[in-house]
Chains A and B, each alone.
Chain A
Amino acid sequence: MTKAKPATFAMLKKPIRVHRGWLLAFRLMIHSIATVLLGLAYYNAINGNVSGDPVQYLLDFTGIGALNLMILSLLTSPAANTLKFAQLMVVRKTLGVYAAIYALAHLYAFTAYELQYEWGLVLSEIVERPYITVGMVALIILFVMLLTSFSAARMKLGKYWQRIHNFVYVAVLLGCLHFLWSVTSNWTEPSVYMGITLILLYLRRKKIQKIFK
């Protein structure tokens, strides 16, 4: 790590550095919030502590949760740049891992509770319903990212690792499209998600242009 340079211009902010313990605590906090909330959601749905339909509740909770986590993980690098807080980047992986876990919990709720393991219907819905198809593609991308999120996998995959993980931009767009497409009306909320996603992608347009060159 480079030492904080003395500011040459007054407008330049001093880079932020914190003790490693704080970063660990921050990550632990993300771990506990994400797991406790997911566990609580399933606990409440199983025990009927939600008002109305527990299946819809779980689908909404896990779906929106996965999108929130994906957006937060995409927010990490612009935030670290703006704040000059390079250490913040360690939370990106934590957030991304939970985005994938929430997305898997979403598929699980759909398969186990919405369709109650009618496998034929699960498959035909994934193939025939475009909004489910795009959601499934996003989920597969996140799943592959989850499987290759370990340091060992990163070492082994070398340059391919980054190529695989660049697909997160496709995943987040498909996730928003899935949300937008799934609602019967009231496109406000999914449109806001899509808008925020497009802003986050615009912030890294140079990187994305490079990928497609």
Chain B
Amino acid sequence: MIIKTPSKNAAHEHEVTDQAVYQGRRKVLKQLGYTGALALLSQSAQANPFKWFSDDDTPTFKRNPLSFEKSDALINPMTQEGVATSYNNFFEFGTSKNDPVENAQGFVVNPWQLEVTGMVENPIKLDYDDLLKRFPLQERIYRLRCVEAWSMVIPWIGFELGALIKAANPLGSAKYVIFETLNDPAQMPGQRSRFVGGGIDYPYVEGLRLDEAYHPLAIMSVGMYGQTLPPQNGAPIRLVVPWKYGFKSIKSVVKIRLSDKRPKTTWELLAPNEYGFYANVNPEVDHPRWSQARERRILGSKLSEQRRIDTMMFNGYDEVASLYSSLDLRSNY
């Protein structure tokens, strides 16, 4: 049973279309106790087709246009914005792919504080405006390969992670960069309830080796498709590491800590045989439950807008290969 305690953003919920329709199949079994067998069948099945009509009622998070240096990279075609912003893994807002877009619209991103701390000489605190202004913003059109064997092409806007870390002046002994997502159960239903959040211990933690973090392809993103990020994609600031599986690219980051010890990352803790610390995209190393050799590129929301393609080593970003020249990528998955 999902028990939602009222919170500030709960005020939005009365504006939302019938919850049974919204949360669809996830609620079905909970309703078994109350409703007859047929009602069970019809509600579960109707849940999704009906959502088509109810989308307009969702209060939408307000995004703002950004000024940035446009990318001249040609990775065509890109994934439709509407798909990239409504098909998300962000368990803090629910484990179903369409939960985040439904549950995150009231998420407060301003005020925000991102701190860079730990083994640094010059700890930094950035508020919301700093995130958008402290570093010049660039557009980066990257492939995003999810560990679940689907992928998208997304135009991110952000700045290099290396620039942020250098600004904090890391100590020579720092070896790893550890990231943490906001911990705010009042705003994140998945953190309030283990049933909503998939049984993960929050806050979500990710990490990179310092040399990985310094690679110019690794960026902190504050926007996509020309505008600030929507909450379901990790507003106001998230990591994007395009040569690694998507779960490494942690969302809604509040803390970046430098350390000499490798962290245990969230998915590594949950299923160490399936998700490793490195999580480099690698077509030759299968996930224990599915093949990683190929992927389904999602370009749009129609069945005809899906392409089966080969997965590329490092997701096609060969320039990072030298980071791993002395590493056995099969055992360090």
A contact set with B: CB distance below 8 Å: 29-30, 33-34, 37, 40-41, 44-58, 60-61, 64-65, 68-69, 72, 75, 79, 113-116, 118, 121, 124-125, 128-131, 181-182, 184-189, 192-193, 196
B200 partner residues in chain A, CB cutoff 8 A = 185
Of all chain B residues, the one with the shortest Cβ separation from A191 is B29
Q: Is B280 an interface residue (CB 8 A)?
A: no
A118/B95 contact (C-beta < 8 A), A53-B298, A187-B199 known:
no
Of all chain B residues, the one with the shortest Cβ separation from A57 is B48
Instruction: Give the Cβ gap from A181 to chain B, nearest Cβ, in Å.
Output: 7
State the CA gap A26–B97 with chains docked (Å).
35
Cβ-defined contact, B290 with A129, below 8 A = yes
Cβ-defined contact, A192 with B97, below 8 A = no
User: In the complex, given contacts A51-B86, A68-B44, what are 7 additional A-B residue pairs having Cβ atoms less than 8 angstroms apart?
Assistant: A37-B49, A51-B301, A55-B303, A72-B37, A114-B296, A185-B91, A192-B29
Of all chain B residues, the one with the shortest Cβ separation from A61 is B48
Cβ-defined contact, B32 with A196, below 8 A = yes
Contact of B199 among A45, A54, A130, A186 (CB under 8 A): A186
B30 partner residues in chain A, CB cutoff 8 A = 192
Of all chain A residues, the one with the shortest Cβ separation from B298 is A53
Cβ-defined contact, B308 with A50, below 8 A = no
Cβ-defined contact, A55 with B296, below 8 A = yes
Contact of A52 among B97, B290, B291, B305 (CB under 8 A): B97
Cβ-defined contact, B83 with A53, below 8 A = yes
A64/B289 contact (C-beta < 8 A), A41-B49, A185-B198 known:
no
Of all chain A residues, the one with the shortest Cβ separation from B53 is A49
A45 partner residues in chain B, CB cutoff 8 A = 302-303
B302 partner residues in chain A, CB cutoff 8 A = 45-48, 54
State the CA gap A35–B92 with chains docked (Å).
35
Of all chain B residues, the one with the shortest Cβ separation from A40 is B49
State the CA gap A107–B55 with chains docked (Å).
29
The contact sample of 16 A-B pairs, CB cut-off 8 A, is A29-B38, A30-B41, A34-B45, A37-B42, A44-B48, A49-B52, A50-B48, A51-B55, A52-B88, A52-B97, A53-B97, A55-B306, A118-B294, A128-B291, A185-B95, A186-B91
Q: Is B105 an interface residue (CB 8 A)?
A: no
Indicate the member of B29, B38, B290 with the most A CB atoms within 10 Å. Answer: B29
Cβ-defined contact, B45 with A37, below 8 A = yes
B82 partner residues in chain A, CB cutoff 8 A = 51
Enumerate the 7 nearest inter-chain pairs by beta-carbon distance, A residue then B residue, closest first.
A52-B87, A186-B198, A48-B302, A48-B301, A37-B45, A185-B198, A51-B86
State the CA gap A61–B302 with chains docked (Å).
16
State the CA gap A187–B195 with chains docked (Å).
8
Instruction: Give the Cβ gap from A28 to chain B, nearest Cβ, in Å.
Output: 13
Cβ-defined contact, A33 with B199, below 8 A = no
Q: Is B176 an interface residue (CB 8 A)?
A: no
B26 partner residues in chain A, CB cutoff 8 A = 189
Indicate the member of A34, A52, A114 with the most B CB atoms within 10 Å. Answer: A52
Cβ-defined contact, B29 with A196, below 8 A = yes
State the CA gap A55–B97 with chains docked (Å).
12
Judged by DSSP, the binding face of B is: helix
Contact of B306 among A40, A113, A187, A189 (CB under 8 A): A113
Instruction: Give the Cβ gap from B24 to chain A, nearest Cβ, in Å.
Output: 9
Determine the interface band of chain B, counting residues with CB < 8 A from chain A: 35 or more
B293 partner residues in chain A, CB cutoff 8 A = 121
Q: Is B98 an interface residue (CB 8 A)?
A: yes
Cβ-defined contact, B46 with A54, below 8 A = no
A124/B41 contact (C-beta < 8 A), A51-B87, A53-B97, A55-B306 known:
no
* CB-contacts of B83-135 with A (<8 A): 83, 86-88, 91, 95, 97-98, 101
State the CA gap A48–B301 with chains docked (Å).
4
B42 partner residues in chain A, CB cutoff 8 A = 33, 37
Cβ-defined contact, B55 with A48, below 8 A = no
Instruction: Give the Cβ gap from A196 to chain B, nearest Cβ, in Å.
Output: 7
State the CA gap A44–B40 with chains docked (Å).
21
Q: Is B203 an interface residue (CB 8 A)?
A: no
Q: Is B150 an interface residue (CB 8 A)?
A: yes
A68/B28 contact (C-beta < 8 A), A118-B294, A121-B294 known:
yes
B40 partner residues in chain A, CB cutoff 8 A = 68, 72
A185 partner residues in chain B, CB cutoff 8 A = 91, 95, 198-200, 270-271
Instruction: Give the Cβ gap from A70 to chain B, nearest Cβ, in Å.
Output: 11
Instruction: Give the Cβ gap from A205 to chain B, nearest Cβ, in Å.
Output: 21
A131 partner residues in chain B, CB cutoff 8 A = 289
State the CA gap A40–B46 with chains docked (Å).
9
Cβ-defined contact, A60 with B86, below 8 A = no
A53/B87 contact (C-beta < 8 A), A116-B308, A184-B148 known:
yes
Contact with A along B206-242 (1 / 0, CB 8 A): 0000000000000000000000000000000000000
A189 partner residues in chain B, CB cutoff 8 A = 25-26, 29
B303 partner residues in chain A, CB cutoff 8 A = 45-46, 48, 54-55, 58, 113
Of all chain A residues, the one with the shortest Cβ separation from B150 is A53
